[in-house]
Chain A
């Protein structure tokens, strides 16, 4: 198994541009989530999904959209990039029930100029 994969690894955007961060998992996990990690702020939940077709907002959802059309994929869309969205983005997945161990991808580093 490849586990949780994320693309791209690094991206530079200009303010106002849009882009999609890709996340895929091959473990047949029901649950998937997106986090951002910022210095001094730790990891914060952006959006999450408990199954195909079901998504909900986390702690910091503004400026981001998600969809979950398949079990395997959970893309994160930046609608109009802002410098405040400069961060490292992590995707995670897990089975729906106990124990709930979360498996993380390697991350995408995003720089918005």
Chain B
């Protein structure tokens, strides 16, 4: 069964620092991998989606990479800002349907001004 792990569970950094969030998965036969952001008391917002044939995706200060062979994805946030404070979740589809997602338990990020 696919398992998704995110380390660390929580991270606190000073403003301006570059940081990396990690996501690991046990079954490399994935269709895609998606990174989400969740603010307290809110729903999930999709940040980046990487198809299985891609190695990375970029959006503004965010860059997500995917290494299927090692079962890892990283989310790189450049020049972090207090507004980046949130929980970051990664998820992969399973069982042949792209809307059947298995989520990691997330990394709670705090960016200190």
Contact = CB atoms under 8 A, between A and B. Distances in A.
Which of A40, A41, A90, A101 has the largest count of B CB atoms less than 10 A from its CB? A101
* Chain B interface helix/strand/loop/mixed: strand
Interface string A35-60: 10000111111001010000000100
Contacts, number: 73
Chain A, interface size: which category? 20 to 34
Most A Cβ at <10 Å: residue of B46, B97, B103: B97
Interface residues of B, number: 24
A32 interface: yes
Contact of A104 (B44, B100, B102, B105): B44
Nearest to A30: B99
A106 B99 contact: no
A54 B89 CA distance: 28
Contacts of A4: 43
A90 B99 contact: no
Q: Main SS of chain A's interface residues?
A: strand
B99 A33 contact: yes
Given A43-B89, A90-B44, A107-B43, A102 B101 contact: yes
A103 interface: yes
